[in-house]
Structure 1
Amino acid sequence: MDIINYELQLSLLLILMLFFSSAHAEQASLSIRKDDLMVKTLTVKQFRQLQSDLTSLTVDNPTDSKVHVYQGILLKTLLTRFFGKDWQQFDALKFSSQDGYQPIIPIANVMAHTGMIAITEKGQQSLSHLPRINGETVNPAPFFLIWENINDAPARTDEWLSWPWQLTDIELTHFAREYPNSAPPATADEKVTQGFLAFRQHCMKCHAINGDGGEMAPELNYPVNVTEYWQPQWLARFIDDPQSVRANSKMIAFYRDVENRAALIETIIAYLKRMKNKKITAAPKAVMETKGSSSD
């Protein structure tokens, strides 16, 4: 009898855990902003209630190399619902995830391809877990940005298209507003300027310069520039293949299919070197907030 009671209690506990987990997921929210001004906040439940906008999209997910049929709302449909056609006048869309990942995608690229904010998969109540490095997995729910890349072959090689999961925010913005502290001096040479554009495209989703950029990975200029403590040849190798320098590094290798890859890495390092003479005088906002929230 004790064994039976234990099994019943365990079953009830599992049912309750699943119930509360599902309820919590339904209350997770997605904020939609314009230049940092809140326009709308949608819970998963409210998102589902936009019945006329819900649709399906079949994609080849680059994370697990499998074909998935996702269900959600097309990105352009969602933007038009809340902004009309005005969203097309902005420079970019900034996406924020729970882990601090913060990619920015030019509006031109959004318009050229078919993206979707997915919340479920066909025949499922939620989203499938996806593999990560070191055998780990991640649940991309509650909101996952995906791109149609089966019929749209260029979407497979468009380096601006990110697939951020666990989304919390979508924001219409302008590049000048996003990166006021990271542009190189006006006197910088062409190589440095090219490096800035490459860094902005490939690296700022995770890294920041003087507080401009993502929060998932280290700030690279304040208070000490990365080229002041990394030798150039090792920095180039780390960008090229992080795990060849640091075991179990979570940083991914620089995009393998980029044209002139080695030369592009050189321009990024030239940009980083130039920025060591353009440091802010106060800690970036993200650094200050992190210190302020520390429990140590």
Structure 2
Amino acid sequence: MKGYFLPCAALLSFCLNIATTQAAELTLELGDQGQTWSTAELLALPQTRDITIASDVSYKRKMHYKAVPLAVLLKSVKPGEHIQAIAADGFAAELPAAPLLSTQGARAWLAIEEPSRPWPILGNKGYSAGPFYLVWENPEASNIGSEQWPYQVAKFRLLPSVAERFPNLLPANDASEDVRLGLAQYQKNCMACHRLNKAGDSQFGPDLNLPHNPTEYFKPGFLSRYIRDPQSMRHWPQGKMPGFGEASISNTELNQLLAYLSHMASRKIE
């Protein structure tokens, strides 16, 4: 009879995943407009479609989803504005609104996990990417990075830009062009998990300037190798930092990011 039973841990994970999906709600905080959508309400939208994501960032393979264009949910948002996507674990992706609203090139979709068809578990995490997951068709058309695919999304918020909210992230007025471009790379690739100078909304990873900046304790060359493949430099089974290959951040962009981090080491707040 044992062939008919799941191991206790797997069964518990499966049941918790279904329960979470059934109880799921997505919150939108778009200025004066606040709204909550249930899984059932999102699935019932006339714009909801069956889509195929050829190379899913989280599952590392082709995936099929029920999904609604994110632009449908953000119809009151303007292209020049700024959106933050907050996940259940504290991951906070900072996203310019324009790509989220675009119907050309890369296209953003909110994938919706159906209670009757739960998605696969993510690696050894014990949970799926649901109940809500921001996925992209043709991401390469708009240089969409891996950190712009937040999963287990709980909330979308309309906020002022990162520069307006967090002046502690700004480089000196006379900073080089590489440093300024590096701030954009930091916002795109690092800020979803980390703070810097105590600036940021993420509750996921450590501060990258306090008490020490990684450029202060990594030997030259090792920090870039660590960003490319963290587990190859410091193996830790519980490590959560993903690797950033050249498809996510080019060598030029990586050098810009390192220039920004090095610059900010001399701009620690008190």
Report the TM-score, using the length of structure 2 for normalisation.
0.78
> Is the radius of gyration larger for structure 1 or structure 2?
1
Number of equivalent positions: 253
Matches within 5 A, 1:144-223: 144-149=133-138, 154=141, 157-159=143-145, 162-175=148-161, 176-213=163-200, 214-223=202-211
Indicate the structure with greater helix content.
Answer: 1
Question: RMSD in angstroms over aligned alpha carbons?
Answer: 3.1
Q: Which amino acid aligns with 1:31?
A: T
**Structure 1 residue aligned with 2:35:** 40
2:46 is matched with 52
> Within 5 Å, which residues of 2 pair with 1:82-93?
83=76, 87-93=77-83
Residue 105 of structure 2 corresponds to residue 116 of structure 1:
no
The residue aligned with 2:244 is 254
Instruction: Identify unmatched segments of 5+ residues in structure 2.
Output: 5-10
Say which of 126, 132, 152 aligns to 2:117: 126
Structure 1 residue 242, shift from structure 2 partner: 1.4
Aligned to 2:7: none
- Compared with structure 1, are the counterparts of its residues 255 and 205 closer, same or farther at alpha carbon in structure 2 (3 Å cutoff)? farther
Q: Give the alignment partner of residue 72 of structure 2, picking from 58, 73, 77.
A: 77
Structure 2: distance between partners of 1:272 and 1:163: 24
Task: Give the partner amino acid of 1:267.
Answer: Q
Cα distance, 1:64 vs structure 2: 3.2
Instruction: State the distance in 2 between where 1:251 and 1:24 align.
Output: 25
Q: What secondary structure is seen at the aligned counterpart in 1 of 2:74?
A: helix
Q: Which amino acid aligns with 2:134?
A: L
Change (3 A) 1:167 1:275: same
Percent identity between matched residues is 26
Find the aligned partners of 1:161 and 1:270 in 2 and give their Cα distance.
Answer: 20
Whole-angstrom distance in 1 between the partners of 2:241 and 2:49: 34
Of 192-201 and 174-183, more deviation after overlay is shown by 174-183
1:218 Cα deviation after fit:
1.4
- Residue by residue, what CA displacement relative to the aligned partner does 1:48-78 show, whole Å, maximum 9, x if unpaired? 4x43343222222233343333113210111
| Superposed displacement of residue 191, structure 1 | 2.4
Once residues 33 and 251 of structure 1 are traced to their aligned partners in structure 2, the CA distance between those partners, rounded to angstroms, is: 28
Shift of 1:154: 2.1
> Taking structure 1 as reference, are residues 164 and 130 closer, same or farther at Cα in structure 2, changes over 3 Å only?
farther
* Offset at residue 136 of structure 1 (A): 4.7
Kindly provide the amino acid, as one letter, of the partner of residue 101 in structure 1. F
The residue type paired with residue 74 of structure 1 is P
CA contact (8 A) 1:71 1:120 kept: yes
After superposing on structure 2, the runs of 4+ consecutive aligned residues of structure 1 that deviate more than 4 Å are 20-24
Describe the shift of the 1:226–1:65 C-alpha distance in structure 2 as closer, same or farther (beyond 3 A).
closer
CA deviation string 1:15-67 (max 9, x = no partner) = 9x95x8645533222111135x661122324434x433432222222333433
- After superposition, the C-alpha distances for 1:267-288 in whole angstroms (9 at most, x for unaligned) are 322211221232233xxxxxxx
Instruction: Specify the alignment match of 1:292 in structure 2.
Output: none
1:268 aligns with 2:254: no
